[in-house]
Amino acid sequence: MTIQNYGNDRMETNEPAEDELLYADLFSGCGGMSLGFEQAGFRCVGAVDQNDDAAETYRNNIGTDPIVDDITKYTADDLLNEFDVARGDLDVLISCAPCQGFSQHRNKHDTEHDERNTLVSFSAELAVAMEPEFFVMENVPELIQGAKERYWNRTYEILKKNNYAIASDVLNAADYGVPQRRRRAIIIARKEGRKVELPPPTVDEHRTVEDAIGDLPPIEAGETHPADPMHRAPNHTRRIVEMLDLIPDDGGSWMDIPENHQEEYWLDSMKKRAENGDLKSFCDTYGRMHWDRPAGTITRKSSTPSCGRYVHPEQNRNVTVREAARLQSFPDDWEFEGSFISWYEQNGNAVPPKLANAIAEQITRLIPITEKGTQQMTFDAIGPS
């Protein structure tokens, strides 16, 4: 079997150049963001993540040994020492921190304390102290356009106070060659108010599920293809396989199960939703992907048919790890470490490398430009309309 290498090829290993671009990755996960920067010619000097499996995946694929620990135990000076770089030497500091408070001693009702001490704002404080040229953040859209916007207030204040120019928006990964509709908040800040811009879309037409996984050989639920340990499908009960067999190919879902089988296969929750007409995103559960569209957002739950539209367009199973990884734009030589379910979790939590690469390439275009930004974005401009 020949499996095409979907996605950008890896960079060849070269001797360090005098003008090489250096980055460090906080909350590095399995390495999706880092891979995009590696593909653009950046060199990693260090990474931090608390998940053992993700750190092992990062180590084996990126080639850098992450610090496996709680990052809040570290100061900026600690990290600079660990990464063996001086203050101001980093071209890029990356942080994909979750929106949550980190104080272990906070009162659960002390919401002001929690909002001012999130991992997002903590990473901004590290950035200001470490003085990278660029600070890159990725997060949920709600961080800058919705319910979690309050968590961004403190972070924005930290960056603005320290004269960082900021560009931010919610980007769709599909606009950057990822065969998946994935909307994420992307923030790029640059010190000394110098010009900074988000990357423009890199594709005119979105890649589809068929583009990404159409050439992979069929396998049954619970099987692993002998040529690729990552082309492994989750196991399903006989009843689930029978149910999936009743769902039409190429975009069908539980709602399309023939009426004469609904009593047997519809769950109580399905019957209640159908009776009330309250479907919303629930219609995607036990749903097949469409061949001719990008996939929906690939999450850490993509091994489970009840959690979204993760069923193969034709085969009676959820997508394999390799298929899910291709839909995230990981190359075919990428292998995950840890347990089988951890493979899905690491993949779903990752930044799609093609989106990360677009960010990295944009930064390489901006690095020669030293003039002040033409417009310093205000908080009102990035808040909800």
Catalogue the active-site residues: 99
Residues 6+ apart with CB under 8 A from 168: 144, 185, 186, 187, 188, 198, 377, 382
Tell me, what amino acid is at 358?
A: A
Q: Which neighbouring-strand residues pair with 180? A: 295
Total count of residues recorded for the chain: 385
CA-to-CA separations, 67 to 22, 24, 48, 56, 71, in angstroms, rounded: 17, 11, 5, 11, 9
DSSP 248: P
CA-to-CA separations, 28 to 22, 154, 262, in angstroms, rounded: 15, 22, 44
As a whole number of angstroms, the distance between CA 302 and CA 310 comes to: 6
As a whole number of angstroms, the distance between CA 255 and CA 248 comes to: 10
Cβ atoms of 304 and 234 within 8 Å: the answer is yes
- Alpha-helical regions (H) of the chain: 32-39, 52-62, 76-83, 111-116, 119-130, 149-161, 209-213, 238-245, 259-265, 268-276, 321-327, 340-349, 353-366, 379-382
Tell me, what amino acid is at 247?
A: I
How would you classify the pairing of strands 134-139 and 183-190? Answer: antiparallel
